[in-house]
Structure 1
Amino acid sequence: MKLKIALLIIPLLSLIAFLLFFPYKQIIAFTFEDKDQVLCFLPLKNEDTFQIKYTHSIHLSDVIETYSASENEITLKELSYKDFAVGMPSNAEGDEVFEVRNGTYYITNMNRHFPYIDLRLGQVRADHRIIYKDHTYTLSKFIEPGTWIRMSPQKISYWEQLKGVNISE
């Protein structure tokens, strides 16, 4: 009898452990740059696009970068900005397209791939925001301004979701 119970319990416990700890959920993770500690995350589907919007520190106008994410990389798709100034491109490269629409400069058809993106969260003006599915999430609500963070695509388990900070909730 004990053997039958053990033969039932062991597979059941294994299944529960698998369901709890198997990384299956695609996210963009925001971690400390030099550590693997997830500060917060944004769940998204493979190839979904999201945007990073911030206020440029010199010309004080908004910059919007549009990205997509796959399992192991982030791809810059588009850049838009209102002012030519320090740090902003003046033209497109390769197959990219540079255009002006309603006073805003756009570089489209971008296909720049990164395994991760490092970023220092603005303390004064930048006001870094993530825009995903018509919702805007201000990163300083989840991460202290001035923190050096790394954005990377990852998969996490149900357990990690329970103990982490989902910025979309």
Structure 2
Amino acid sequence: MKNKKPGKKLLFLVPLIILTIAIIIFIPMKEALVFQYQNTGNVLAYIPFSAEDHFKIKYTHSIHLSDVVESYVITEDDEIKQYELMYEDFAIGMPENASDGEIFEQKNGKYYIKNMNRVFPYFDLRTGKVRANHTIIYRKKEYPLSDYIEPGTWVRIKTEKVNLLQQLRGVNILEQS
């Protein structure tokens, strides 16, 4: 009878297991809308997402104290496109009309700029400390950012694939509500 040494199989299996674990932990696999701490890449929170998903950001305007809602869609190129803006008051910081190719409407005491085509690889937001109450609206449900991110924090909002480690460190907004 041949006497096989288990050590050779083990020498092959251990690196294979370590490599598999590393791939599972560090290779980005899940598409998400991420909220990163400043521009560091550290994921504070995320929403599992896919191309052509829509979301909105609602906040209270600091001067008018009325709601503003910005509507976005994720493009096929994983960029963020603003396609609509809704607000209640003209004045400081709000547009008075639509730009070229956009449509301005007034309906039920609110102003809309539609057909917007403003595309960003990412955008930065400082979450409101006092009254802004930044809220993500996703699939008709509202998620106040202050529940997941400390008010006053500068976040970078972008789409990217997140790895398992980032998922474990960040907060899945959809699972927390």
TM-score (norm 1): 0.90
Matched residue, 1:19: 24
**Cα distance in 1, alignment partners of residues 44 and 69 from structure 2:** 23
**Cα distance in 1, alignment partners of residues 148 and 170 from structure 2:** 11
Deviation at 1:8, TM superposition (A): 4.2
Count of residues in Structure 1 that have an aligned counterpart in Structure 2:
169
Deviation at 1:9, TM superposition (A): 4.5
Deviation at 1:59, TM superposition (A): 0.9
Deviation larger for 150-159 or 16-25: 16-25
**Cα distance in 2, alignment partners of residues 132 and 142 from structure 1:** 15
Matched residue, 1:4: 9
**Cα distance in 2, alignment partners of residues 8 and 39 from structure 1:** 35
**Cα distance in 2, alignment partners of residues 121 and 7 from structure 1:** 50
Matched residue, 1:61: 66
Matched residue, 1:76: 82
**Cα distance in 2, alignment partners of residues 18 and 101 from structure 1:** 52
Deviation at 1:82, TM superposition (A): 1.1
Amino acid at match of 1:29: V
**Cα distance in 2, alignment partners of residues 4 and 38 from structure 1:** 39
SS of the residue corresponding to residue 167 of structure 2 reads helix
Matched residue, 2:170: 164
Deviation at 1:72, TM superposition (A): 4.0
Matched residue, 2:93: 87
The RMSD of aligned alpha carbons is 1.7
Q: Any gaps of 5 or more consecutive residues in structure 2?
A: none
Matched residue, 2:45: 40
Amino acid at match of 2:33: I
Matched residue, 1:51: 56
Deviation at 1:11, TM superposition (A): 3.4
Matched residue, 1:96: 102
TM-score (norm 2): 0.86
Identity within the alignment, %: 50
Contact 2:135 2:143 (8 Å CA) reproduced? yes
Aligned pair 1:107/2:113, yes or no? yes
